[in-house]
Structure 1
């Protein structure tokens, strides 16, 4: 299996990730083992007047943790799936908040990857952490899925 370079992989993933598209999430991969997502809280994300539903943050956390795990597994011809993750909510997230989620691989084993992450809110005074998470991901052969990724020649 010939693997594409990172820009091709990230562009392809942003294109096929319907969940990310529906929520305005944009993935970047600064280096293998690290991933970042950005999104802005919209009305569709609210559970009460002006406040985002915790599930929005949980979805963002799972996405950024999984993307970081994928950056470690993919070069070995593997994909990942979430085994478990936990999230701690630190502050409420409000309509219009711009979120920046970052994650990094903490441990890479033969069959699992453990990743930690933080979601930040860009605030007028400073950047604030609004949630922290930790996840464990299963590694499995990429040949089990049709990826549809091609390098441009």
Structure 2
């Protein structure tokens, strides 16, 4: 399979990723095996006054871990699905905060890919603060030409 057109694949994935769209998440791919997701906490992400629901952070983590694995799987004509992931919440996340999740593949095997990520709160006047850390395992499975074609054509 020829080398993937990363810009086209990321644009196509952003187009079909309704979960990411609904939650205001923006994906970028620095390199195969790496992913970065950004989002801002909105009122519909809150579970108590001013504080984001843990599921919002978990959703961002799963998306980032999976995107890192997916970018590597794309290079061999494969897709991935989550097998499991572990998440450590380090600090609460509040309304209007900007988050960035940075993920990278730690291990790739014939059937599984393991990736890790850290979600940071972006501070305008200081260093980033880690608010969560995660580790995920993803199943690799072959994508047929039709699936890749549908992804690119949207």
TM-score exceeds 0.5? yes
Alignment of 1:1-150 (within 5 A): 4-123=4-123, 124-143=125-144, 146-147=147-148, 148-150=150-152
Aligned 8 A contact 1:32 1:68 in 2: yes
Provide the rounded CA distance (Å) in 1 between the counterparts of 2:63 and 2:115. 11
Task: List runs of 5+ in structure 2 lacking aligned partners.
Answer: none
Aligned 8 A contact 2:4 2:74 in 1: no
Provide the rounded CA distance (Å) in 2 between the counterparts of 1:85 and 1:127. 23
Provide the rounded CA distance (Å) in 2 between the counterparts of 1:77 and 1:125. 41
Counterparts in 2 of 1:126 and 1:84: CA distance versus 1, 3 Å: same
Q: Provide the aligned length of Structure 1 versus Structure 2.
A: 151
TM-score w.r.t. length of structure 2: 0.93
Provide the rounded CA distance (Å) in 2 between the counterparts of 1:145 and 1:83. 24
Q: RMSD in angstroms over aligned alpha carbons?
A: 1.6
Post-superposition CA distance 1:21-71 (Å, at most 9, x none): 000000000011100000000000000000000000000000000000011
SS at structure 2 position matched to 1:146: helix
Cα shift at 1:144:
8.7
Cα shift at 1:143:
1.5
TM-score w.r.t. length of structure 1: 0.93
Post-superposition CA distance 1:56-100 (Å, at most 9, x none): 000000000000001111110110000000100000000000000
Task: List runs of 5+ in structure 1 lacking aligned partners.
Answer: none
Aligned 8 A contact 1:50 1:95 in 2: yes
SS at structure 1 position matched to 2:84: strand
